[in-house]
Chain A
Amino acid sequence: MKRNYYIFSSGRIKRKENTILFENKQEKKSIPVQDVDSLYLFGENDLNSKFLDFASKHEIKIHIFNYYGFYSGTYYPRETNLSGHVVVKQVENYLNKEKRAYLARKFVQSAIHNMKRNLQKRTIDYDPEEYLSELSTRLEDKIEIQEIMSLEAAARKYYYSLWENITKWKFEKRTYKPPENPLNSLISFGYSLLYTTTLSEIYKTHLDPKISYLHEPFEKRFSLSLDISEIFKPIFIDRIIFRLINNKMISDNDFQMNELGVFLNEEGRKKFVKEYDTLINSTILHRNLKRKVRYSSLIRLECYKIIKRLIENQEYKPLKAWW
């Protein structure tokens, strides 16, 4: 079964026969190429075009992070799963205002549901769900993307306002350019991991990651990946953060601070990635499919639902966490 490989050290990465070889002065490691879904580079690595070509042939996505653990980009191999039919429908659903708003609303409603699910699992003195439910209802008749976006922002702002209560860590508000405190840096790091996983899963389907609905397609990133990530942020990343903090698995020592902001240091990133990798590889019994699926596959399955909406004009029922 294919999986992700994370390289934290600096060194050279190259092709050696049918393996990916990593080496530096201290160590030498090789990975069989057919085992790799995506490669994550956190260190400073040298690689050449021969290696990229090799990666491309095996459909390996390479996600690169900079010294501070900031996501800097993805090497996205040539697409093999092309279906002109799906792309045409994807564009059609973007250009049609009603259809675009339909999908955008569904993404946000699912995100809100999943935020609520996280709050339900915790004991908080008052009932925080009512306001979120109200926002979700208010979304129903919205056609303007701007309005949908601002309702989402309101939901998130409210949800985040409860985080100090949940974690007992200082939060104040969401800051990301740069993150101003440890909690914010955990969120930033986690969301960029999720963004890359989503991108890797979109790659396995016929969807074009550049054509999106909630976010504008002309944003600098693969914006469909941002759209779909919204659904999974609360159930993947937020839960990991709560666990890391509440189980005291992470502390002040795992962060570094400088004039650019607060970041996870290498130790901290390793701890986060370990939790993340365990989560996305664990399985859950899927209610509709009646079979076990990996957490990461939930994202691919979400893509299938979107494709179904696009080519069959069916109602799209986004994932609503039931666990």
Chain B
Amino acid sequence: MTDFEPSGLLIDYFYICKRKLYLYFYKISFENTNDAIQIGKEIEESFFKDSLKSITVANSKIDFITIEDKVVVHEIKKSKAFESAHIWQVKYYIYQLRQKGIDSEYGIIHYLLLKRKISVNFNEMDQARIQEAIEKIREILSLSQPPQVIKKPFCSKCAYYEYCYI
């Protein structure tokens, strides 16, 4: 686990729920009885599929990039429920690009249903905090058992709800 580099989605999950991070990583995913997730997939596909291609950097799939004076990372999300996790996910993509020597310090999150965008900046402090997060993720994934259920209201919308609460 020491040099394992998480994907962007794992970073997102790290900020939402560490248990979800663990279960997802070990490919324990459950039947999608949850409509919210289904909608999310459909939106991404119908809005962007034909016009834009997602790109892969290291092991992360970035929804798309544009190039201004620097490379701009774009991420598409459905709702703002986990906004701060989304922000860290975008910062992480920027971090990965920079690690590869690509000049980037700016990203945009598109909240499609809300028709809103928010912008994300990247600074030196973020660099250190991301490295810390990566360390913690490695620790969690090397545990012999998943972390505890977090008992948050949003659990009831999570794909793992039935598994966690049965």
Contact present for A311 and B145 (CB under 8 Å) = yes
* B28 CB-CB contact with A under 8 Å: yes
CB-CB under 8 A from A85, the residues of chain B are 26-28
CB-CB under 8 A from B26, the residues of chain A are 83, 85-86, 311
Instruction: State how many residues of chain A have any CB contact under 8 Å with chain B.
Output: 20
Across the interface, name the chain B residue whose C-beta is closest to A82.
B27
If over half of A's interface residues share one DSSP class (helix, strand or loop), that class is named, otherwise mixed; here it is helix
- B interface, size bucket: 10 to 19
Enumerate A269-323 residues with CB–CB distance to B below 8 Å.
Answer: 288-289, 300-301, 304-305, 307-308, 311-313
CB-CB under 8 A from A205, the residues of chain B are 30-31
Contact present for B166 and A311 (CB under 8 Å) = no
Contact present for A304 and B145 (CB under 8 Å) = no
User: Taking the nearest CB of chain B, how far is it from the CB of A175, in angstroms?
Assistant: 37
Beyond A83-B27, A300-B31, whether A289 also contacts B145 by CB under 8 A is: no
Across the interface, name the chain A residue whose C-beta is closest to B27.
A83
Enumerate B123-166 residues with CB–CB distance to A below 8 Å.
Answer: 145-146, 161-163, 165-166
Contact present for B28 and A312 (CB under 8 Å) = no
A-B contact count (CB 8 A): 41
* A204 CB-CB contact with B under 8 Å: yes
Distance between Cα atoms of A312 and B162 in the complex (Å)? 15
The contact of B28 among A206, A289, A313, by CB within 8 Å, is: A206
Contact present for B146 and A312 (CB under 8 Å) = yes
Contact present for A304 and B30 (CB under 8 Å) = yes
Contact present for B166 and A312 (CB under 8 Å) = no
Contact present for B145 and A305 (CB under 8 Å) = no
CB-CB under 8 A from B31, the residues of chain A are 204-205, 300
Contact present for B30 and A312 (CB under 8 Å) = no
Enumerate A74-122 residues with CB–CB distance to B below 8 Å.
Answer: 81-86
User: Taking the nearest CB of chain A, how far is it from the CB of B148, in angstroms?
Assistant: 9
CB-CB under 8 A from B146, the residues of chain A are 311-312
User: Taking the nearest CB of chain B, how far is it from the CB of A36, in angstroms?
Assistant: 15
The contact of B162 among A83, A86, A304, by CB within 8 Å, is: A304
A-contact bits for B84-125, CB 8 A (1 contact / 0 none): 000000000000000000000000000000000000000000
25 A/B residue pairs, CB under 8 Å, sorted by A: A81-B29, A82-B27, A83-B27, A83-B28, A84-B27, A85-B27, A86-B28, A204-B31, A205-B30, A206-B27, A206-B28, A288-B165, A289-B162, A289-B165, A289-B166, A300-B31, A301-B162, A304-B162, A304-B163, A307-B163, A311-B26, A311-B28, A311-B145, A311-B146, A312-B146
9 closest Cβ contacts across the A-B interface? A83-B27, A85-B26, A304-B163, A312-B145, A204-B31, A301-B166, A304-B166, A83-B28, A305-B166
Tell me the A residues contacting B by CB distance below 8 Å: 81-86, 204-206, 288-289, 300-301, 304-305, 307-308, 311-313
Tell me the B residues contacting A by CB distance below 8 Å: 26-31, 145-146, 161-163, 165-166
